[in-house]
Structure 1
Amino acid sequence: MIGGVYLHFLYFWNITRGYEFINLRIEDLLPAIEPLTRRQIREIHHLWALHAHLERISMRLKRSCGLQLLAMRLEYFLHCIILCFVVIAIPQRASPPNAATYFLSFICCVRSLEIFIIDYLLETMSTYHSKPMDAVIEGRMCKELGAFIIYGRSMELNLKLCGMYLPNRTSFLHMAEGILCHFMLLLQFLLIFSN
C-alpha cells in the first residue's frame, strides 16, 4: 500500500510542477511592453499544448486512480479505528505501554500523513490548474496570450472522485490537519501519563 501512495504522490507532484511551470512562464510573458516575437508566440502555443496534455493526464489519472484513492481512504479509516482501539485497549491491560503500542501509533500517524499529503497535492494541483491570470496587464496583449488566458479560465480541473469531500477541499484539509495535531497531542499525553 505504501508503494501505491508513493506512486500517486509522484504522479500528482509531477503534474503540479508542470502546472506551476506553465504559470511561471505565462507570468513572465504577461507584462509585454513591446509586441511578442515569433519565438514567444510559439512558446505560448507550446505552453497551451502542455497545459492541455497535463489536463488529459489528470483526467486519465482520475479515472484510473480515483477508485484506488477511495479504497485507500476506506482502508485507512478502518485501520485507524482498529489501531485506535488497540492503542486504547492495550495500555489498560498492561501498566507500561509496550513497543507494540508505540509502533501502532506510529503507523496510524504515518498513514494519516500519507492521506493528508495526497489530498494536499490534489488541492494544489487544482489551484495551479485554474490559477487566476487576470492580473493588471501593463502593456500589449497579443491574441495568442489572450486566447490562452481565456482557455485557462474556462477549463476547470474537476477531481471530485479522488476525494470523499465535494464542497470545499481547503476546509477538509484544515480539518485533517487539526485531527492529526490533536492525535499527536493525545499521544503525548498518553506517553506522559503512562509513566
Structure 2
Amino acid sequence: MKWIGQAYNVYAVFIGMTSYEATGGKFKQSRLTQIYCLVINAICLTLLPKAFWQSAKLMSAADWMPSYMAFTPYIMFSTNYAAIAYILISRCYRDSMLLDLQRITLEVNREMLRTGKKMNSLIRRMFFLKTFTLTYSCLSYILAVLVYQWRAQSWSNLFNGLLVNISLTILVVTTFFYFVSLMHVARGFDFVNQQLEDIVSSQSMDFKKKAHELRSLWALHSNLSNTARRINKHYGPQMLALRFDYFIFSVINCCIGTIYSNSDQESSFEKFFGSLLYWARSVDFFLNDYICNLVTEYQSQPKFFATEGSMSNELSSYLIYESSTRLDLLVCGLYPVNKAKWLEMVASIVVHSIMLFQFHLVMRGGHRNH
C-alpha cells in the first residue's frame, strides 16, 4: 500500500497538485518543487480555457451531436475548468493537511505495530478498489487522446486534447487524497474500538496498566476526531466544487452518451471505452462518500461489551467522553456526506438526465416534422 501512495504522490507533483514529495514515509517540499508546481499551475490556468473551448467546439461539431444540444459541451467544460482552477488555487490548504495526515498516520502505525493489530479487511478492500478506479480513470483520460483524437488534423488539436485530459485527472486525484486522509482516520478509529475491547476483556492486564492504555486511547481518539474535523474543513469547499462538477459531468455525459451510443457513425470500441470511463468515475466518487460514512460509523460504534462487567472510573470517564463526541462531517455546513446522500444525488442525476434526453427527443421530433 505504501508504494501505491508514493506513486500517486509522484503523479500529483507532476501535474502540480502538491509541492510535497513523499520521502522515507514523510512529506517534504523543496524550493525546486515549489517553483515547479507554481509554473505548472500558471501554465494550466492560462492555457486550459483555450484548450477546453477547442474541445467543446470539436465535440459540438461532431456528426453524431445534434445541433440543438451543441451548448452542453461548453457547460460541461466550463464547470470542469472552474473546479480545476479552484483546486489548484487552494493548493496551500491541501498541502497543510498532508503534514497533519503524516502525524496521525505515524501515530496510528506506531500503536498498531505495538499491539500487533492489523488493518480492517473492509478498509483494505476499499483502498484497493479506490486505487483501481483511480488508475483506470487516469489511464483512460490519457489514452482517450489516442482513442478519440487520432483523427486530429493538427498537432495543435492533439496538444489541446492532451492538456485537457491530463488536467481532468486532477479531479479524480484530488478525491484520492481526500479518500486516503479519511481512510487513515477510519483505520485509527477501528484500532481504538479493537484495542478498547481487548483492554476490557483482558484478565492478565492489571488495573494500572489498563488505566494507562485507556489514557493512550483517549488521546488517540481525540487526535483522530480533531484530524477528521480539519480534513472536513479544508477539503469541504473542494469536495463541494467536485460534487457540483461530478453532477454536471454525469447529467450531460449520461444524455449525450446515450445519443452517442445510438450513432452508427462511431465504432463500438469507442462507445464501450467511453461508457467504462463513465462508470469507473462514478464508482470512484461513490467511495469518497462511503469512506466518510465509515469514519462516522467507526467513531460512534456502540460499546455494549464495556458495560457487561465491572467498570472502573477511567473506563467510565472514557465512555462518557466518547459518547458525547460525535463527528458531524458536513460539507461547508450544508449536508452530511454518506451513502444516503450519494443515493439522493444519483436519483437527482437520473431525473435531470431524463429531462435533458426528453428535450433531445422533442427537438428531434420537431426537426423531423419540418
Q: TM-score, normalised by structure 1?
A: 0.79
Partner letter of residue 48 of structure 1? W
Contact preservation (8 Å) 2:232, 2:329: yes
Matching residue of 1:186: none
Matching residue of 2:242: 72
Which of 308, 317, 320 is residue 147 of structure 1 equivalent to? 317
Q: Distance in 1 between matches of 2:334 and 2:315?
A: 36
**Residue 201 of structure 2 corresponds to residue 31 of structure 1:** yes
Equivalences for residues 67-106 of structure 1 within 5 A:
67-94=237-264, 98-106=268-276
Shift in Å at residue 104 of structure 1? 2.2
**Residue 220 of structure 2 corresponds to residue 50 of structure 1:** yes
Partner letter of residue 161 of structure 1? V
Q: Distance in 1 between matches of 2:278 and 2:243?
A: 13
Q: 1:20 to 1:134 in 2, by over 3 A?
A: same
Partner letter of residue 141 of structure 1? M
Contact preservation (8 Å) 1:44, 1:145: yes
Matching residue of 1:125: 295
Question: Structure 1: any 5+ residue segments left out of the alignment?
Answer: 180-195
Q: Distance in 2 between matches of 1:138 and 1:108?
A: 50
**Residue 335 of structure 2 corresponds to residue 172 of structure 1:** no
Partner letter of residue 19 of structure 1? F
Q: Distance in 2 between matches of 1:76 and 1:10?
A: 19
Which of 111, 116, 123 is residue 281 of structure 2 equivalent to? 111
Shift in Å at residue 119 of structure 1? 0.6
Matching residue of 1:185: none
Q: Can you list the C-alpha shifts for 1:166-191, whole angstroms capped at 9, x where unaligned?
A: 4x944335667899xxxxxxxxxxxx
Which of 9, 16, 20 is residue 186 of structure 2 equivalent to? 16
Shift in Å at residue 125 of structure 1? 0.3
Matching residue of 2:307: 137
Matching residue of 1:188: none
Q: Can you list the C-alpha shifts for 1:33-87, whole angstroms capped at 9, x where unaligned?
A: 6884322211110100000000110111111001111111111111112211221
Matching residue of 2:111: none
Partner letter of residue 278 of structure 2? C
Q: 1:35 to 1:110 in 2, by over 3 A?
A: closer
Shift in Å at residue 105 of structure 1? 1.4
Shift in Å at residue 165 of structure 1? 4.5
Q: Distance in 2 between matches of 1:75 and 1:100?
A: 23
Matching residue of 1:183: none
Contact preservation (8 Å) 1:13, 1:121: yes
Partner letter of residue 171 of structure 1? A
Q: Can you list the C-alpha shifts for 1:117-166, whole angstroms capped at 9, x where unaligned?
A: 11111111001111111336343211111111111101110002179754
Q: Distance in 2 between matches of 1:142 and 1:15?
A: 28
Moved more, 2-11 or 51-60: 2-11
Matching residue of 2:78: none
Q: TM-score, normalised by structure 2?
A: 0.44
Partner secondary structure for residue 307 of structure 2: coil
Q: Can you list the C-alpha shifts for 1:2-53, whole angstroms capped at 9, x where unaligned?
A: 2111111110110000000000111112236688432221111010000000
Partner secondary structure for residue 149 of structure 1: helix
Which of 329, 347, 353 is residue 159 of structure 1 equivalent to? 329
Which of 168, 177, 183 is residue 7 of structure 1 equivalent to? 177
Q: 1:112 to 1:162 in 2, by over 3 A?
A: farther
How many residues of Structure 1 are paired with residues of Structure 2 in the alignment? 179
Q: Distance in 2 between matches of 1:105 and 1:164?
A: 32
| CA RMSD in angstroms, aligned pairs only | 2.8
Contact preservation (8 Å) 2:292, 2:338: no
Structure index of larger Rg: 2
Contact preservation (8 Å) 1:70, 1:164: no
Q: Distance in 1 between matches of 2:188 and 2:208?
A: 23
Partner secondary structure for residue 30 of structure 1: helix
